[in-house]
Amino acid sequence: MAYLRQAGEQTVLVLANLGDRRLSRVRLSSEESVLPAGRYAARSLLGGRSPAALRVDAGGRISGWVPLPALEPFETHIIELPTTR
C-alpha cells in the first residue's frame, strides 16, 4: 500500500507491506499528475534505510520509482519528499 499526503509545502509518502511475505523492488507509478515535475530527495522520517531519489516527469507523474530494494513483512516507511529542483 502506498499513498501521498501533502500539507502546505511538505509532501510525505507512506509505504507499507501489509502482507506476510517479503516484497522485492516494489515499483510505484501514478496515472495522474501528483507532484510538480522535478527531482525529490527522498528522506526516511522513521530512520533506517535511505530511499532512492524520485524523479517526477513533466506531466507530474511518477513512473516506475523503486524507493527501496525490498519491504519486509508488515514493514512501514514514511518518506518525506523535499524537492531539489
| Model-wide pTM > 0.85 | yes
Span 4-36, pLDDT tens digits: 999 988 999 999 999 999 999 999 999 999 999
Span 51-80, pLDDT tens digits: 999 999 999 999 999 999 999 999 999 999
Give how far Cα 79 sits from Cα of 25, 53, Å: 16, 11
Cell of 17: 507491506
Domains with residue ranges and CATH for the chain: 2-80 (2.60.40)
